[in-house]
Amino acid sequence: MQTRRVMAAALALTVSALGRQAAASEVTPVQKVIQLMEGMLAKGKSEKHDEQVQFAAFKQFCDDTSVEKKRAIEEANGKIEMLKADIEKYTATAAKLTKEIADHDEDISVWTGDQKAATTVRDIEKADYDALHQDYSESVDAIQRAVAVLKKQSHDRKQASLVQVSSLTQLSLIPDSAKRAIDAFLQQSQSPEGLEVSAPEAYGYEFQSHGVIEMLEKLLDEFIEERTKLEKSEMNGKHAYDMLMQDLTAQIQQASQDREEKSEVKAKTLQARADAEGDLKDTSDTRDADQHYLDDLTATCEQKASDFESRQQLRAEEIEAINKAIEIISS
């Protein structure tokens, strides 16, 4: 309504101005006004149309850009969800591998400790075996020499040779009862050199000598048997130790290989997670920037659309007012 009043006032002024010029022109003032107003009407319609064309292009830009940004945001959201799932999977895998690697480290430590403990026990067993085997061997050798001396005829024995028999009492493996028997025999055999011995005494001496020989030969058999058992026990112990060490070594090697492989997989997994986290940040930043741009674009497009509608309404009212004025003047 206000626009119409403004237009009417403008028309009144125009008519007044043209009336003063009518005397020098063949065109009547009314015709001149109508021509002027028709020019204004054509210009208003042209400007209204041009504005419609410009706004249509702008609206197309808004629509196309909005569709593009919404598609990019939707794709980014999908990618973000996928990256978050990948990161969660990588994290779980790395944690699982960390635990498995720790288990391998513990196993390797335990098995290495078992090797050291087994080696310590084996060294002790070997040292005990060597010492006891040496005792048995020395005892067997000493008994064999002593028996050889005792089996000689009494008149062929030399007093010095009885030292072989006497040395048996110094051996730790000889039983105390045997040592007493040997001592008794040696005391009887120690008579002054060259002293004649009566037949009954000689017979008693030979009888006692025979008893000592039987005792020593029995001990010799026992010592050889015990030494053989000891050697067999040592062989079995060494074999058991070798088998244990072989098994532990194989377990340690396998665990070490598994640990190395899992460490490599863990490193690759952590790198993949780091890459995914970097990709997630970049994608999130780009998505947020697109969303911010879309929000601004939507607000701008809505504002310009509102402004366009207002201008179009104003121009329509102006055109209508001009048409009315032309109609009134022409009547």
Q: What span, in angstroms and rounded, lies between the C-alpha atoms of 92 and 263? A: 15
Could you tell me the mean pLDDT of each successive run of 10 residues in the chain, 331 residues long? 48 48 62 86 88 93 96 97 98 98 98 97 97 94 88 58 78 87 80 45 55 91 96 97 97 97 98 98 97 96 93 89 86 73
- pLDDT, residue 79, reads 97
Determine whether 31 is exposed, middle or buried from the number of CB atoms within 10 Å of its CB (0-12, 13-18, 19+): middle
In the numeric block, which tokens belong to residue 2?
A: 């206000």
**Angstrom distances, CA of residue 314 to CA of 26, 76, 180, 253, 255:** 36, 43, 145, 90, 86
Element (H, E) at 267: helix 199-330
The two structure tokens encoding residue 183 = 């001592």
pLDDT for residue 70:
96
What is the predicted pLDDT for the residue at 196? 44
Quickly tell me which residue has 């032309």 as its tokens: 326
| CB neighbour class for 93 (10 Å; exposed up to 12, middle 13-18, buried from 19) | middle
Written as one string, the DSSP assignment of 207-252 is: HHHHHHHHHHHHHHHHHHHHHHHHHHHHHHHHHHHHHHHHHHHHHH
Burial of residue 305 (number of CB atoms within 10 Å: 0-12, 13-18, 19+): middle
Q: Cα torsion at 159, 160, 164, 165 (round to 10°)?
A: 20
